[in-house]
Chains A and B, each alone.
Chain A
């Protein structure tokens, strides 16, 4: 490696979609999200309380074990992925789960070289940075 200062690419315009569904449903939902362009997802195992109990006898068919899916998407994609998950997860049925979108200030990961080339390497100023410029 040369002694050039290490470069870091910061991604902006990022949204986080979080969906909590019954255990075993995550694969199907991640697939639906990927079909509309989501890159990947992480799945956590968790336990849920509340809705199951309020469904009474019917609550027995809802798993207490949940899968929490987190998907990082671009803000352009957010709506489309949100809708795709909604349909794949049957969120219009009681007990199926809940999901939400949160804006993400910034993210960083590996960005392939060709994409960097395409958008130039110029040092774009961080739009969230409110410090006075050193002019």
Chain B
């Protein structure tokens, strides 16, 4: 070891070696033509080696992959561990489910990136230039059609269709026919609801309508219709589906696209920007579809009888032994993926060319994005069938083994009836709580809310309020299936409570609370919870397993409104205290007395 080191040598070892290069050598030299005029420099593309290309791509893919893994893996691990540790049963088809989950992660990654690169620029171009080029009625019609288009593109909608296959035609004929024969009409109906929400939401942007009267106006007929439907024993089985549809619609496609259109319109009219204008559209987009789907089920009730449906279902079951090529994997998923994206893109393109008379900005980039989102949708659909839905259905089917006899688990019931039931409900609660806490959209909402309320409503408070609300909602939903409680008994009092709370709350908290319900139900949670509910319902021989999602929507509304009222009360109390001290101090100053204020 040398005793002395020259400081220069030390610095050279510690720091990077600097090599100096004159930038003059790098920049292109100007050529001159015969007249002495400079020739414009032609930009030549860079040529990259494969290692360089890899280094460039690796962080880009890495970030996006990790984002989706964060959304999927914790939930999947929780379900798997719960099944192995608490329920002591192995995962059936473990490899298929793993492959399916990988497909979900990859599919979501491609889809979200495609959405960002390909579809969002469309939405923004539309939002910013549409209002200046077209009259308000045209704008509203386009907003309506866009609402329908995005509903078909919503990844979670596929889960709704997949759920149809599990419903038993004998026990719930109307539910069966809605999800099978009327499946396309059902999605269209949901789309019409979202479209109507887009219209009302846009008008709200323009005229600064308060959200409260809109909620009253929408909820009162919705609750009324729910009550009417609950009177008919056959029809009431469709209620869970109708209310779940509201939760399904507000996903990663609908919210940003409809919102960007609305914000663009508001900005063009010189309105908006007060922070609150972005809210409310999500609420309406989850309430209107409920109304439409209930209307549809009443219509189906009027036009057919349960006996007809059962007969038709048995007929089609008899003939459909050989599934045609387009009903087999992977073709059915491919077609579903194309059908979800392509019509929306064509619609957006037509509006851009014929209404706006604009050319597509960056056509290469946008077609890359669209291709990516179609590929992502196809992979996601595959993953949905083989990963999420399968895992959810399996967990849901096995959890009741904790408290009741189930054929697939030999040693069931594993625990005492009461203990087992507690375990099952705790399982549901933790599932809802954890999944919501991990939802990135909720985190974003929390930051917005903290800013809007000047820190009175902390981000953490909102996160926990919503997560606890969803957890309780899902737990109640599971209890509903076990005890076979009619969903109307839960929904009507729940929403009436929400209405009362809304009446007493500030406009800001109303906006936040009602929107937080829509934000929580992402493309991973919806299929998982939907499949789990159906599997659960099947295992305990319930008529239908819908309604868990709708309970997960009402839960956070009530919890956030309550917390909001509490925060409001606390802030008011603080103000009152300040006012009192201020008054006291003023009195002291006025009387010039240095003694504490005396009673007069």
Contacts and interface: CB of A to CB of B under 8 A. Distances in A.
Contact of A58 (B44, B48, B59): B48
B273 to A, nearest CB: 17
B207 interface: no
Contact of A54 (B16, B43, B52): B43
Q: Is the interface of B mostly helix, strand, loop or mixed?
A: helix
B45 A56 contact: yes
Given A62-B56, A90-B55, A55 B15 contact: no
Contacts of A95: 56
A61 B48 contact: no
A58 B56 contact: yes
How extensive is the interface on chain A, given as a class?
A: 20 to 34
B489 interface: no
B15 A94 contact: no
A53 interface: yes
Given A93-B52, A94-B52, A54 B44 contact: yes
Contact of B365 (A24, A60, A79, A83): A60
Given A93-B52, A94-B48, A94-B52, A58 B15 contact: no
A135 to B, nearest CB: 40
How extensive is the interface on chain B, given as a class?
A: 10 to 19
A60 B56 CA distance: 10
Contact of B57 (A56, A58, A79, A80): A58
B45 A54 contact: yes
Nearest to B61: A61
A54 B46 contact: yes
Contacts of B45: 54-56
Interface string B48-87: 1000110111011101000000000000000000000000
A95 to B, nearest CB: 6
B368 interface: yes
A61 B58 CA distance: 10
A83 B45 CA distance: 28
A94 B56 contact: yes
Given A79-B15, A83-B15, A83-B16, A60 B44 contact: no
Q: Which of the listed residues B15, B45, B56, B60 has the most CB atoms from chain A within 10 Å of its own CB?
A: B56
Contact of B48 (A55, A60, A96): A55
B205 to A, nearest CB: 24
A132 to B, nearest CB: 38
Contacts of A86: 16
Q: Is the interface of A mostly helix, strand, loop or mixed?
A: helix
B368 A94 contact: no
Nearest to A55: B46
B422 interface: no
Contacts of A58: 48, 53, 56-57
B117 interface: yes
A53 B43 CA distance: 9
Interface string A59-87: 01110000000000000000110010011
Interface in B254-300: none
B55 A93 contact: yes
A83 B18 CA distance: 10
Nearest to A61: B60
Contacts of B59: 90
A54 B45 CA distance: 4
Q: Which of the listed residues A55, A60, A86, A94 has the most CB atoms from chain B within 10 Å of its own CB?
A: A60
A122 B15 CA distance: 36
B290 to A, nearest CB: 37
A79 B57 CA distance: 29
Contacts of A51: 46
Contacts of B46: 51, 54-56, 94
A96 B60 CA distance: 11
Contacts of A87: 16
Nearest to B59: A90
Nearest to A95: B56
Contacts of B56: 55, 58, 61-62, 93-96
A101 B576 CA distance: 54
Contacts of A80: 15
Contacts of B57: 58, 61
Interface of B: 15-16, 43-46, 48, 52-53, 55-57, 59-61, 63, 117, 365, 368
12 contacts: A54-B44, A55-B48, A55-B56, A56-B46, A58-B48, A58-B56, A61-B61, A83-B15, A93-B52, A93-B55, A94-B56, A95-B56
| 7 nearest A-B pairs in the assembled complex, by CB-CB distance | A61-B60, A93-B55, A56-B45, A54-B45, A54-B46, A83-B16, A61-B57
